[in-house]
Chain A
C-alpha cells in the first residue's frame, strides 16, 4: 500500500519535471544529431552521466575528440555544485535502499523535490527511489524522442543554428542566478565572466578550460578573503 501511495505521489510531484526533462532531453537528442555525432553517445550520456548541462557541453568534447583531462575538468566545473547538494542530502539518504543509485541520480530537480521532504501518504524509502527513477526515465525518453525527431524529420537537425540551444541554456542559467542573487553573488558572476574572457585572450585550444578555472578559482579566493576581512 505504502509502495503504491509513494509511486502515486512521486508521479504527481515529478509531473513538472517530466515536462522540462522531456523537452530539454529532446533538445539534447536533436543537438547530438545536429553535431553529426553517433546517437548512441547521446543515449549513453543520458543513461550513465545523467547531467544535463554537462551533457550539452561534453557534446563538443566528443565532436573534437578532446583529451580526458579536459573532460574531467569540465565535468568537475559543471557539477561542482552537486557536492553541496549532497552535503544537505546526506542525512535524508542515510539508511535508504538503493543509496548508490539515489546519489547517482541527484540532479538539480531531484534535489529540489527530495530536499523539500516526503509528501503525506508516501514513505521516504520508496518515494526517494521513485522520484529519482522517474526523473531519470523522463530524461532518457526525452533524449530518445529528440534523436527520433532528428532522424524522422531531417530538417530539424539540419536547421542551421540549432546547436545554439546549449548557449541559450547557459545564458538562461546565468540570467536566473543574476536575477535572484545578492551583490556578492553578482560579483562572483562578474569574476567568472572576466576570468573566462581573460583565458580566451591569453591561451588557446585545450588550455582554455584549465586556464579559465585557475583564474576564476584564484580571483574568487582573493574576493572571499577580502570580503571576510571587511565583515570583521
Chain B
C-alpha cells in the first residue's frame, strides 16, 4: 500500500515537473543549437524504448514471445492501413489474445 502510493506520488511529481519546468525557467524556454536538435530526436528514441519496455515481459516463454511479436507486427500493419489509434490497439490486443489461445491453449 505504502509502496504503491509512493510510486503514484513520484509519477505525479515527475509528470508535473516535466510539464512545468519551462514555465519557471526562462532560459530553458529558448533552447538552441545542440540541445534543440537533440531534444527534437529524443521523443522518437523514447517511444521506441517504451515499445521494447512494454514487450520485454512477454519473452518469459516462447508462446507469449511469438504471440507478442506477431501482434506487434499486426498492430503496425493496422496503423499503416487504418491510421486509427483505437482500431490499432483493439487489433493488436485481440490478435494477441487469439494467438495466445492458439499457441498456449
Contact = CB atoms under 8 A, between A and B. Distances in A.
Contacts of A66: 7
Given A68-B10, A82-B18, A188 B41 contact: yes
B21 A65 contact: no
The binding surface of chain A is classed by DSSP as helix
Interface in B1-38: 3-12, 14-16, 18-23, 28-29, 31, 34, 37-38
Interface in A175-230: 175-177, 179, 181, 184-186, 188-193, 195-197, 200, 208-209, 212-213, 216, 220-221, 223-225, 227-228
A164 B42 contact: no
A60 interface: yes
The binding surface of chain B is classed by DSSP as helix
B49 A172 contact: no
Contacts of B58: 167
Nearest to A91: B29
Contacts of A193: 48-49, 51-52
Contact of A191 (B8, B43, B45): B45
A66 B3 CA distance: 8
Interface in A45-86: 45, 48-51, 53-58, 60-62, 65-66, 68, 71-72, 74-86
Given A53-B50, A81-B46, 20 more contacts: A50-B15, A54-B11, A57-B53, A65-B4, A76-B14, A79-B19, A80-B43, A80-B46, A83-B28, A87-B31, A103-B16, A159-B97, A167-B72, A170-B54, A171-B55, A172-B79, A176-B79, A192-B44, A192-B46, A193-B52
**Cβ-closest 5 pairs across A and B:** A192-B48, A168-B92, A192-B45, A196-B52, A75-B14
